[in-house]
Chain A
């Protein structure tokens, strides 16, 4: 205690010195770390601690201050927020607060700085997916894609500033699986991987080099690229060793558990169903209006996005139809021109046929723009919102777990009391000791549960803020690109018709 009271100044004068922070806040590092080892998680997987404790610890520390931020003040006045419910000795909570109490502005700006640092670091990394190549023949064939990463040396994440590897679709799914299992339950919005498509892939496997299977491969390539870009843009995910391995290492163990009908696949389906049931049965006492509000907001957003997506898909369909109909008309007009016996008119009709042919191509391009620049973006966000909803659900699960543990503790305490009044003296002492041990363990677990819950709540707040920023940026860029593509096709149309006009006027 004394140590913590003495040294806070040293800490926030130098934010880079994260090592000090570790020592300064033993409660924060000590407790969770023990838990991490005893938990069933993989060692490099985070529970509350991540490989770079430093990073998150630091984030934790600054997050604590957000308790003092204006929005939180409003909430605090309304009622007790979970973090302040006097279940656990609030040492871990209060101490940092005291330490930073008079430094709101300072640490606030530091929080923003940190975000900017992280996001600028993340956005400096660029990934591209290219050169799809079919490997193998028949039903065992698959497409391999070239994944190229470019990272500034300052990021110190990779061995080289630029490098490539070859990956197949199931590798991407495997990566997502790992990231999701590591980070989602801690509240991180892990970008969803592109969807499987049995129909699409079968066509490719069968080996038809037709435009629809080419379109499918192109669609998938772009989707994979967007998926990787979103993942590397995430400052926390970028540092994950699985991601680094995926991007860097030339050989990657086959991700066998990604097949839809495999054992793992079935397990996933069962889990999803269980989650759905849980969602319906868990009623959380939401004391934080922010979460309720945000959850509602995302539900509404999701509903609206889906509507827009559906109407854009209809547009894509009709645009393709227009392209086909225009092609048919062009052929017919050419035939009519051939049949026409008046020379000048015949020539004009042939020219008309040519213009319509060019229009057909422009419409096809417009359809592509409609699809790749607009429809796919909307589809991505529908899936991303599902991931966002997922982390909200994880928070509810964390709360549930905490509550369950509390309930268990309560029962054990009641059992302890009963023991005091029981009549079996010989077993009594042993039982008393046992139960005391259990109670201590449970008390620890309850504390942990509360901390987990607080942590996930904090992470979600940050993630949501980041997500909203990214969303605005994404939409603006992609919408602008889409409109520019449309403007280009219209300008082409002008050219074609302007070239045709003198031909039409030449008819006499």
Chain B
């Protein structure tokens, strides 16, 4: 199934992440994608005025794993230790529509033809929604990179955008180089190290407290929002059932009820469309927002971790220098080492401060945009519902 997203769709979708720098010299988008079984092939399209690139306009096919490779290489690049690396896009998850398809297949025998067609439509819509979401999330990842003053110049990023052959060979090499251990280590030692460090800088002390707390809260909110959205979808499904069974009832009836039931069945069909949209809008504006920033905050935490590690290194180098002075041995090396550690730590602190400040700004703007849009959509849908309900009430009363 090939999905081509027109501009209108993309406008609607470009929701979650808001970049404060929009650099016109490097424009990236994902104009279409192909879905084969579970594998999604994205077409990454780049338009650039930068001379570093071989061509001003390039299109390459990429898989999800390629995005992950790019993210991991960026994380593991020492030079970027002081930057918040944009979170990797999550793996395309077709679990939910696949489950539904399974259920549909099982229940086919017991459903009427109408019910089946309707549920199939719902299923296709959901599939498309998941598809659109994953395209958006991958696109946003690349756009975050392209608008970052430092990351946009990364060599691997350029390769990702340009290299017109399969990246999987390169991916394997990268895996060999880094072993992939680093990432796992980071995750486990994370919290302990960050919270254990004695902070000298007020700014970072505040940020640390804030981010640790905020992360756990936003993680919880994301989970609860997901549950809410899922129940909304269940209700939309219930409406389909009710509409179908009311149809069955009206077919049996010979009295004036027949018309009443028909109208009611019609109403539920329309209501479920609205309910479905309420669910998907809430998903996009609220759940996705929370999910995205949860991941972004994790990236910010990673930055704090790296800085904490650098501080530990610096403190250790101090101790080593003292020892060397005591023993009067290898003093220049120890001094050198200590200087390097200090420099590294300072660099991380400086860049970290900038990154965290702009991160906060970004977050606030994104929340504002999405909350406003969500409120507007909720109002729109509720008004729609009211109109539909009152229309049906009128019809019933006049009959």
Binding site secondary structure of chain A: helix
In the complex, the answer to whether B245 meets A348 with C-beta atoms within 8 Å is no
Q: Is the CB of A490 within 8 A of B385?
A: yes
Cβ of B257 and Cβ of A311 under 8 Å apart?
A: no
- B383 at interface by CB-CB < 8 Å: yes
Using Cβ atoms and an 8 Å threshold, which residues of chain B touch A332? 217, 220-221, 224
In the complex, whether A429 has a CB less than 8 A from a CB of chain B is no
* A336-B214, A483-B393 known; A497 vs B375 contact (CB < 8 Å): yes
Is B396 engaged at the interface, CB distance under 8 Å to the other chain? Answer: yes
B-facing mask of A338-379, CB < 8 A → 1, else 0? Answer: 011110110011001000000000000000000000000000
Q: Could you pull out 5 A-B pairs where Cβ atoms are within 8 angstroms?
A: A328-B224, A341-B206, A475-B261, A491-B386, A497-B375
Q: When the two chains form their complex, are residues A494 and B256 in contact, meaning their CB atoms are under 8 A apart?
A: no
In the complex, chain A residues whose CB is within 8 Å of the CB of B378:
493, 497
Residues A480 and B386 in contact in the complex (CB < 8 Å), given A308-B242, A329-B227, A348-B371: no
Q: Mark A464-485, 1 if CB is under 8 A from B, else 0.
A: 0000100110011001100110
Q: Which of B214, B221, B242, B251 contacts A315 (CB 8 A)?
A: B242
CB pair A308 B249 closer than 8 Å: yes
Contacts of B253 in A (CB 8 A): 301
Tell whether, in the assembled complex, residue A322 and residue B221 are in contact, meaning their CB atoms are under 8 Å apart.
no
A472 vs B259: C-alpha distance in the bound complex, in angstroms? 10
Q: Mark B217-228, 1 if CB is under 8 A from A, else 0.
A: 110110011011
User: Which residues of B approach A to under 8 Å, CB–CB?
Assistant: 206, 210, 213-214, 217-218, 220-221, 224-225, 227-228, 231-232, 234-235, 238-239, 241-242, 244-246, 248-249, 251-257, 260-261, 264, 267, 360, 363-364, 367-368, 371-372, 375-376, 378-379, 382-383, 385-386, 389-390, 392-393, 396-397, 399
Give Cα A501 to B369, complex, Å: 11
Contacts beyond the supplied A319-B235, A329-B224: 15 A-B pairs with Cβ under 8 Å: A304-B245, A304-B252, A307-B245, A325-B227, A332-B220, A332-B224, A468-B255, A471-B257, A479-B260, A487-B385, A487-B389, A490-B382, A500-B375, A501-B376, A507-B367
Residues of A within 8 A of B (CB-CB), count:
56
What 1/0 mask marks residues of chain A from 314 to 330 whose CB sits below 8 Å from any chain B CB?
Answer: 11001101100110110
**Is the CB–CB distance between B224 and A325 below 8 Å?**
yes
Which residues from chain B contact A339 at a C-beta distance below 8 Å? 210, 213-214, 217
- Shortest distance in angstroms between B135's beta carbon and chain A's nearest beta carbon? 27
Please name all residues of chain A whose beta carbon is closer than 8 Å to the beta carbon of B371 when the two chains form the complex.
348, 352, 504, 507
Q: Are B210's CB and A480's CB within 8 A?
A: no
Query: Given the interface contacts A308-B246, A336-B221, does A480 sit within 8 Å of B390 by beta carbon?
Result: no
Whether A486 contacts B389 in the complex (CB less than 8 A), given A342-B360, A501-B372, comes out as yes
Q: Are B235 and A315 in contact (CB under 8 A)?
A: yes
Tell me which of A301, A325, A480 contacts B252 (CB under 8 A): A301
Closest 10 A/B residue pairs (Cβ): A311-B241, A507-B368, A329-B224, A487-B389, A504-B371, A315-B238, A304-B249, A322-B231, A307-B245, A308-B245
